[in-house]
Structure 1
């Protein structure tokens, strides 16, 4: 046996095999904290925990030899991690443990992950979050960010967060639970941008920062809090107090990214004239930082809007005006005290922005993403983007890293992104560089070890399933162009109640390739079933079926709809020449569509399970049920057309008019035929957005003079 045969994740920086095995069942008499979760209280060799103040706080030494097991550490975290590694060895070798010596400590001090509860508003499920915390502890993650925005039951505010959101009692419980696993909880509440859900109630309408061109706040479409509005500030400070009271946090992340507009309303114009828009933002962040600092809390902010002060701003290209730059740089220098800046970049390295923030003497955390929200299933390809970012982060010696999860919904949840979380965590613990995937761990070894640690199997069916379904340039996704091989696939299933939409969205890519697509879909279905049998299920394995469910539905729906299209097109060709065949073709259309009803069962079941167990939006269940109901409506409409009272409308036109709201600037084509329909099929069109004809005829003033 070689050192690399050990299935330890993250892999230790030093391992020495001393030869031979020893039969034993390690145990601990009185386990501290959560150590008892990994070492049982019954056995035949008591584990010795030895204090060694020379070791770093999270470092450990593990020795297995003829007389037993010793774990040396200077603090609880090191003892916990030693116990976790011992548990991994017991799971691999059972009661015959290899004699060895392990020496390990983290490369990065701050190793974070984030779970997103806001955006599509994920319901809080305590059972899953506790399970997830244990999974993260095994990966040596020591910070868990809960991205709440305002989806939290703030005691000082009216009940604006909705049902089944995290409460202060939930927060205290999860903070105490996580502490035993050496994980600190960081609440993330956006106090500027990304507040559209929060501001979509009349109670807060006067707290918005009006967008450019909006002169009346009564009908404002702004999606950000005003940084200088006294009422908005009071609400923010009360909310921060609520978070401090419940979480007792080291850090509160206050957001600050992607602010669409700032400095335009009556509270901000004067400051914007003096400091510029970036100055308004910096001044606000300093105000929030001062308040949190007075409460003993570190401020966390995203870095993208601050890059307007750098030589290159790749986020939105905006540059601070030269006249404001000196004062803005003073504010930036003030802000760095008591603040962590999170330099986020999700598709590769970030050397220039990390260098900028490091030169400005900020504490920096590099923020990557599992990118599950943008894919049909979390792609292992994203691990290379995470690696590129963390190579830059470790080269600059920043405080650490964060692997973010965003936009849980439409069939996706953070539970599906374990392998990408694990890759980022292992890179932060063990290190990564230009010569390795993870130091002391190849990409192939990482995949096999993470599979064993998480699912207790050496069968690679699950890894193969993720590659087949998620590799961007694999056989399956190569059938789709770049803009339709990601979240578009899940949206085809979970984000429409229009039964024709799945066909309209996908037939362009799959026309003439359905046979090839069917082979790939059958392949991932077989792999999932094989993985389901070989992997240990902790109650959430079913969540991984998302790719098999989505592609299975798309394959069935597009195949049936394409057959329906053939009959419908044939009916149109003979509509005015052969009435009997016209009716027969439409009957065939109806019978073909009837065969599709059963295809809705798997995605409905999946969406319902995801809502109940992981808190995903229940809307997906109702959308799918609505699509099935609308399929019956489509069948009724097709049979009605047998009356031959109008030209058969094009399929795309049926989709728009029968299952949507017809919108246009002036009129929708052939709208008269739809208003002349009866009952459930009668439709009319309405205005698409706003259309303004500018009536500035100042030239007629001169004409009038000559009359």
Structure 2
């Protein structure tokens, strides 16, 4: 009951302090981050964009594509039954119709495996593995003796960027995107002592070097890098811990990477106010909730407050909200339309998305500006 009471208090404050103002000025970025659908789900996903995202005033769509595309640059990395160019163009067309900017995502550096399975990159190119001595278990459990959460590729391997940058260039071209999301979250394996290239090196410098290399490659064609912000936060000093912040000393990279990187600051259990930290470091930042409605509403209230009461220099760095979805597109739509019952006792990501954007919609009617590049 206390959580419900607090949520309604936040709603009251939002409605009282920000009555019927233009959300383009209040929240330049109003986004959804979700996995791209598979081919048999494209038509349904397009209808969802047309009938749900557009009326809810979403103007930014981060699509986790990874290897769910029929790459021509590296066809060996495409998943079975991956999206075709025609499938992608159907998604692009409906987003153009509604002035929704698409930001495709491929997980770079970390998240090269999940549970007991390698991702496509390390399946095909095992030489890129940062920790080849860590074998994938048949029965994955956490915690484990190897500290295996997800594998990473070695950022200093001389051939890795030739491969992944070809994918980045192809996916941004087919989605007609002016920005790219590189993931970069939850990197537990970096600078492994047994790596012949990375062993003994400073983890913050390694992480910053990879971020900068990706950013510089995108900048060559006028595109912007977006990334998750957790590895740039000191998990020990803040008490945030190893998941939503770093406990392996990558956080020093925050002072080493270019300031034009867009930070996606995700917190799911509490509304930790780290957006202020990133803005004070000179970065543009969006706040990213997931499944707890009371947390999402509090984060929205914070973001509006930051923009309303900051200096002009700081205000422009608080860019808005991006709701994250951590299930497949088809499963999310089943939850969204009530075809499946949510069984997660910790919250419902579909309902959380609805609550967040219902509150955003109460702020007023948006203008016609396309989701921002900057």
For Structure 1 versus Structure 2, the TM-score category normalised by the shorter chain is 0.7 to 0.9
DSSP 3-state at the match of 2:265: strand
Q: Find 2:196's aligned residue among 266, 274, 278.
A: 266
| Structure 1: gaps of 5 or more residues | 1-10, 16-58, 60-103, 372-381, 432-438, 440-707
| Shift, 1:237, TM fit | 0.8
Shift of 1:229: 1.0
> Do the aligned partners of residues 309 and 297 (structure 1) sit closer, same or farther apart at CA in structure 2, a change above 3 Å counting?
farther
Question: How do 1:494-505 and structure 2 match up within 5 A?
Answer: none
CA distance in 2, matches of 1:413, 1:396: 31
**How far apart, in 2, do the equivalents of 1:201 and 1:277 lie?**
21
Q: Which residue of 2 aligns with 1:153?
A: 70
Secondary structure at the counterpart of residue 413 of structure 1: helix
- Cα distance in 2 between the residues matched to 1:284 and 1:278: 10
Decide whether aligned partners of structure 1 residues 405 and 151 sit closer, same or farther in structure 2, where only a CA change above 3 A counts: same
Is 1:408 matched up with 2:325? no
Instruction: Rate the CA distance shift 1:281–1:313 in 2: closer, same or farther, 3 A.
Output: farther
Matched, 1:238 2:238: no
CA distance in 2, matches of 1:357, 1:414: 33
Structure 1 position 114, deviation (Å): 2.0
Residue matched to 1:342: 264
**Where does residue 277 of structure 2 map in the other structure?**
356
Question: In 2, distance between residues paired with 1:124 and 1:254?
Answer: 26
What CA distance in whole angstroms lies between the structure 2 residues aligned with 1:182 and 1:215?
Answer: 45
Contact 2:32 2:62 in 1 (8 A): yes
Q: Partners in 2 of 1:149 and 1:299 — Cα distance? A: 16
Distance 1:200 1:175 in 2: 26
Once the two structures are TM-superposed, the CA of residue 402 in structure 1 deviates from its matched residue by 0.5
For residues 294 and 428 of structure 1, do their structure 2 counterparts lie closer, same or farther at Cα, with a shift above 3 Å needed? Answer: farther
Deviation at 1:297, TM superposition (A): 0.8
Question: Could you say which residue in structure 2 is the equivalent of 1:131?
Answer: 47
Partners in 2 of 1:419 and 1:306 — Cα distance?
29
What's the counterpart of residue 483 of structure 1? none
1:332 paired residue number: 254
- Cα deviations by residue, 1:446-478 (Å, 9 ceiling, x for unpaired): xxxxxxxxxxxxxxxxxxxxxxxxxxxxxxxxx
Unmatched tracts of structure 2, length 5 or more: 1-14, 137-145, 308-317, 337-349, 365-374
- Please identify the structure whose Cα radius of gyration is greater: 1
> Would you say 1:143 and 2:60 are equivalent positions?
yes
Q: Which has the higher contact order (CA 8 A, sep 6+)?
A: 2
Inter-partner Cα distance in structure 1 for 2:39 and 2:351: 23
Contact conserved, 1:130 with 1:177, CA < 8 A, in 2? yes
One of 421, 424, 439 as aligned partner of 2:356: 424
The number of aligned residues is: 306
Shift in Å at residue 338 of structure 1?
2.5
Q: Structure 1's 200 and 157: CA in aligned 2 closer, same or farther, altered over 3 A?
A: closer
Partner of 2:89: 172
Q: Offset of 1:159 from its aligned partner?
A: 3.5
Residue 312 to residue 268, structure 1, CA distance change in 2 (3 Å): same
CA distance in 2, matches of 1:386, 1:246: 32
CA-to-aligned-CA distance 1:281-331 (integer Å, 9 cap, x gap): 11110110011111111101101111138841514164576xx98xx4xx5
**Cα displacement (A) at 1:216:** 9.5
1:361 CA drift (Å): 1.3
1:518-564 alpha-carbon deviations (Å, 9 max, x no partner): xxxxxxxxxxxxxxxxxxxxxxxxxxxxxxxxxxxxxxxxxxxxxxx
Corresponding residue for 1:646?
none
Q: Out of 411-420 and 171-180, give the one that drifted further.
A: 411-420
Q: Distance in 1 between matches of 2:256 and 2:203?
A: 17
Distance, in Å, in 2 between the alignment partners of 1:367 and 1:300 is 13
Q: Which residue of 1 aligns with 2:156?
A: 228
CA contact (8 A) 2:265 2:285 kept: yes
Aligned partners of 1:255 and 1:215: how far apart in 2?
A: 22
Deviation at 1:149, TM superposition (A): 2.5
